[in-house]
Structure 1
């Protein structure tokens, strides 16, 4: 009872952390004039992924609802996923509120693409923007098809706000030669704040928010900032493409360890918590709905039915399919989730083999496997071994090919030869007995 109560408390804490409505909107100065023009400051930081997309979608919707005069995206990111960057670009293009990309640190790769989709770009001293070549999962340059599409997106984003597309192309294509900006052929272009100002990719250089607002030319601003809540930070973390296979591996490994552990303890809590983080994180990010929980839960129930009720594997197959289907529905990328599932299955299989080999069958696993055997010591005797027949002789009643019959002490016996053919009427001797099996050997005349 205590263990179940402890598990419930753990799960309640996780759910509370994920869904607690942390305050995300606040005014920089509570004493400021609330009647002035509203300017929203939205952080675009860390890796660009689908969790960031969900956060920006919520933030821009709040800004539009409040009637913000400007939206300032404070960008400091090394880049990230191409698909997330594309969705964010569509989100930025779909709002009527003027957008300002304020590059506070780095706007590299996907960060540069997001910046180019803003109506205006302001950079702080020491910041950089560029180096936007597409990289695949192995860390190498993507294939020509993906690269060509990405370069076209960069050029289109530059042209969207009347910026010279040559520099956007040089950021994504190393074949473009711009030696004046330290980007000869073979290198990607990265612009400093002053260089971006020179080529028209930045409209101002500002050290802080006050200077950005001053550049806007508006006064009595009501500055509001969108903070990433704890729930959103957690959602961004667990939806990262690198974290997903780790979570699924921890989930499968924890459940496998629990099968070999007495009672319900840390491994089971670890496994369930990892799976809950995966599903709740994807749900909070807007990628999963209740149908994913229902499908995954149905898969677990079917797997339990398969374990305890013989079903010729049907329940097991349906259970596995339901669990995988739930994960796919919860994910934003079918390819990524399938790779993650394969990694988790491999980790679980290796763990199960190691545990079974070195620790044997313990915990619930021991209860699932039948260990009783029908041994002679337990009183189970299938046939009596007639050891008294050994070394006795008789004659073959039928040919032995290699089985047949012999007559021995006026008793007919079913026997087998040691392997060779023995003709009818030959003299034989019993050399071994085991249960109902009697083995004979032909005797030569001299024997």
Structure 2
């Protein structure tokens, strides 16, 4: 076999396709949680594209594929929406069912291994529980810290502020607004705060590495 044929054999393995889809989900979740990280988003996108490429050579059950896509959507929403774990539970169920239904063939060799489906799904869920727990902890810390202790402090923009965005300061993520566009990675100074939103101003014009 040529090198390209060997690679094609690997990426058309149903188990590899499912794992790549799951890794892609984790990569996108990390990028969504930490905008500007770049690498997780790139790796996640590549994994999903390669998985889709592998699917072209497999008898795909589109109901199973739809369930996996639904699981990805629910996992990503879990990071942004307070659902108390309901989206994660729904995502795990959809991912397991989607993995088991992904291949439309009676051939056992073409089916995704049940042990791989369950193991990968639980690993994805465990990661998301960790991330969501960290977000909840950050929100609690925000309340405890208060705005008075933040005014004057320097933070780092995590999600480009174009009207509004996200900044990391005092060990937590905050929703922020500014009078000018500030790119992710730039430093800002906290000017004031109201409710759960900080008003910030650009500290300098250079991004941190």
Query: When the two structures are superposed, what TM-score results if normalisation uses the length of structure 1?
Result: 0.25
Greater helix content? 2
Query: When the two structures are superposed, what TM-score results if normalisation uses the length of structure 2?
Result: 0.46
Highest RCO, 1 vs 2 (Cα 8 Å, sep ≥ 6) = 2
Structure number, greater radius of gyration = 1
